[in-house]
Amino acid sequence: MIEVLHQAGRFPLFSSEGCRALEAAALARSPARALMAQAGLAVARLALAVAPHARCIWIVCGPGNNGGDGLVAARHLAGLGLEVHVSHLRGNKPLPADAQWAWQTATDAGLQIGRALQAPDGCELIIDALLGLGLQRAPGGTFAQAIQAINASGVPVLSVDLPSGLHADTGCPCPDAQARPGAVVNAQHTLCLLSLKPGLFTGQGRDHAGRIWFDDLGVPAVDGGSGRLIARGERERWQALARRAHVSHKGSYGQVLVIGGAAHMEGAALLAASSALAAGAGKVHLKALSGALQAAGTSRLELMRWPEGPLDGQTPWQDLTLVVGCGAGHGLDVTPGLGSPLPEILRQAPRLVLDADGLNTVSRSTMAQELLRARRSAGLRTLLTPHPLEAARLLAWPVAQVQADRLAAARVLSSALDCSVVLKGSGSVIASPGEPVHVNGSGNAALAGAGTGDVLAGWLAGLWAQAPAMPVHELATLGAAWHGEAAHGAQVPLRAADLIEHMHALQASLP
Ligand SMILES: NC(=O)C1=CN([C@@H]2O[C@H](COP(=O)(O)OP(=O)(O)OC[C@H]3O[C@@H](n4cnc5c(N)ncnc54)[C@H](OP(=O)(O)O)[C@@H]3O)[C@@H](O)[C@H]2O)[C@@H](O)CC1
Ligand SMILES: Nc1ncnc2c1ncn2[C@@H]1O[C@H](COP(=O)(O)OP(=O)(O)O)[C@@H](O)[C@H]1O
Ligand SMILES: [K+]
């Protein structure tokens, strides 16, 4: 058993369908009941580890195999002499065979199984085995009551496989018939079994699941899942990026050009440019859309101002990695006569990170969308870094639809514009045409502050300038993981300029 987000490495993520296929294959290879026996034992072990002093435990079991896991755990914990109260909520249908076996062995062992919907007096731990992978709809009736009682109890909760009510694929509460979100258990710990579910790591998953543990039940990991979790910092991969030959010089590390920073939003472009420098780009140029900034220069003396004049056939495109859009306002709008540089950038830039108002401009212009879509087949590479609202504008969806299934939204956007995408937020989702989706496990709400996205965009370009041949999907994954890692242990809230320093300091700690 591991605590997933404390591990370095990449773990396969399985959609509900993939989990079912893995489960069926594992069941076919195992003796009858062996998986549930192991699952229940793992739950009991973790309960003892996270609440070693608890004497009284309430175990709330549902009508499927999730409930079966809870019943097996109940038998083990009662066998150790703990005061175990079991509530079993079941419908009119017979229990599945494994859960029926768990119920029978528990009652044979003398466990009393009731239907109470309140934590017993003196309860010190709740085990939530109500609903797992088989969640079909928003919990109603006694199921909703049980979830409310668990959440209102003030007692620590260990959820089995998933916090009950959370959808495994999306990390959202299951909606009811009126599309209102249903109740979800708020757990301190979740023990995910057999295969990792993406919904634990993105959307609302992290807030409901607490600390996430994983037991593969002895079934070896296969990488046939629908995506991958990037658990924690990937220092060995970063080290390869940061390595410098003694004989190298600034020309060895590429050039970044940042275009953005309209009046009143100069800071966004400065953050992106400073971040690209800190990431190690050899030279960083700034083309500010605000005349004042372009004239006055910046407090970072290393930054170079890009000369006045249009970007055109004379621009050394091949040498440049571009970050376009940070604080650009309407300055890139593709209105005839205004001379927006965006169409030429989309036609020419070999490596382009498009962020913030660059994305908003694209969402308003079908011409820009067509130019964007044509880039990959022309050998030009693009990374879009939208937050959920920017993604919603690009997709012409409500933002709630983006957040309701972040993996799907990132995939649809990536395929609609034929680009790589980092859909930012809790559990950033990285999607690229033909690649498995990655979910970034690092980072936390210390990053929820103005400018941290500009820092990400600049950092990505800074890395890309140094490794121009790196596949964009990999680059986006490494950059997002680095950005998130820098927030661990940082003071909350983390100011964006300080974030750059934290990310820079991680370079020094590389092995
Ligand atoms: N087999 C094994 O060896 C292993 C199994 N494992 C464990 O099994 C779990 C999956 O078990 P599962 O497929 O039985 O689904 P589960 O989550 O228990 O729920 C299904 C039941 O809930 C019901 N139901 C659904 N929604 C509802 C709602 N809103 N409100 C009320 N009821 C609702 C649904 O009824 P129905 O929709 O058919 O009316 C059905 O009766 C998995 O998460 C893991 O813990 C692992 O340990 C690996 C080894
Ligand atoms: N709760 C969180 N967990 C992990 N990362 C977060 C969280 N909140 C914000 N972030 C990260 O912070 C950054 C915010 O970017 P963005 O919203 O574009 O900010 P801005 O436009 O002000 O620069 C993104 O990289 C996002 O993934
Ligand atoms: K559960």
- Identify the residues whose C-beta falls under 6 Å from ligand 1: 23, 27, 35-36, 39, 62-67, 69, 91, 96, 98, 131-139, 143, 160-161, 193-194
Give how many domains the chain has, as a whole number. 2
Rounded CA-CA distance 477/424 in Å is: 12
Q: What pLDDT sits at residue 30?
A: 87
Is a pLDDT exceeding 90 seen at residue 240? no
Among the bound ligands, name the one nearest to the CA of residue 100. Answer: 1
Q: What is the CATH number for 62?
A: 3.40.50.10260
What spacing in Å lies between the alpha carbon of 161 and ligand 3's midpoint?
6
Do residues 448 and 325 both lie within one domain? yes
Q: With the C-alpha atoms ordered 56, 1, 443, 425, is the resulting torsion angle positive or negative? A: negative
Q: Which candidate, 317, 270, 323, places its Cα nearest to that of 293?
A: 270
Q: What pLDDT sits at residue 225?
A: 66
Do residues 262 and 132 both lie within one domain? no
Rounded CA-CA distance 496/511 in Å is: 26
Burial (CB count within 10 angstroms: exposed 0-12, middle 13-18, buried 19+), residue 139: buried
**pLDDT digits 0-9 by tens, 292-332:** 777 776 778 899 999 988 999 999 999 999 999 999 999 99
Is a pLDDT exceeding 70 seen at residue 115? yes
State which of 229, 245, 273 marks the end of a domain.
229
Do residues 271 and 190 both lie within one domain? no
Is a pLDDT exceeding 80 seen at residue 337? no
Which residue did the predictor score with more confidence, 41 or 178? 41
Q: What is the CATH number for 414?
A: 3.40.1190.20
Task: Indicate if ligand 2 lies below 6 Å from the C-beta of 448.
Answer: yes
Question: Where residue 39 falls among pLDDT bands split at 50, 70, 90?
Answer: very high
Among the bound ligands, name the one nearest to the CA of residue 444. Answer: 2
Residue 151 included in any domain: yes
Residue 240 included in any domain: no
Average pLDDT, the chain: 95
Average pLDDT estimate for 450-456: 97
State which of 194, 229, 264 marks the end of a domain.
229
Is a pLDDT exceeding 80 seen at residue 163? yes
Do residues 317 and 204 both lie within one domain? no
Do residues 186 and 281 both lie within one domain? no
Residue 243 included in any domain: no
Rounded CA-CA distance 345/336 in Å is: 16
Do the interacting molecules here have an ipTM over 0.90?
A: yes
Atom 25 of ligand 1, residue of closest alpha carbon: 135
Ligand 2 atom at minimum distance from 450 CA: 22
Query: What is the pTM (predicted TM-score) of this model?
Result: 0.97
Range of the domain at 327: 253-508
Do residues 174 and 273 both lie within one domain? no
Residue 234 included in any domain: no
Residue 179 included in any domain: yes
Question: Where residue 223 falls among pLDDT bands split at 50, 70, 90?
Answer: low
Do residues 80 and 174 both lie within one domain? yes
Q: What pLDDT sits at residue 237?
A: 85
Question: Where residue 85 falls among pLDDT bands split at 50, 70, 90?
Answer: very high
CB 472 within 8 A of CB 420: yes
Residue 239 included in any domain: no
Question: Where residue 238 falls among pLDDT bands split at 50, 70, 90?
Answer: confident
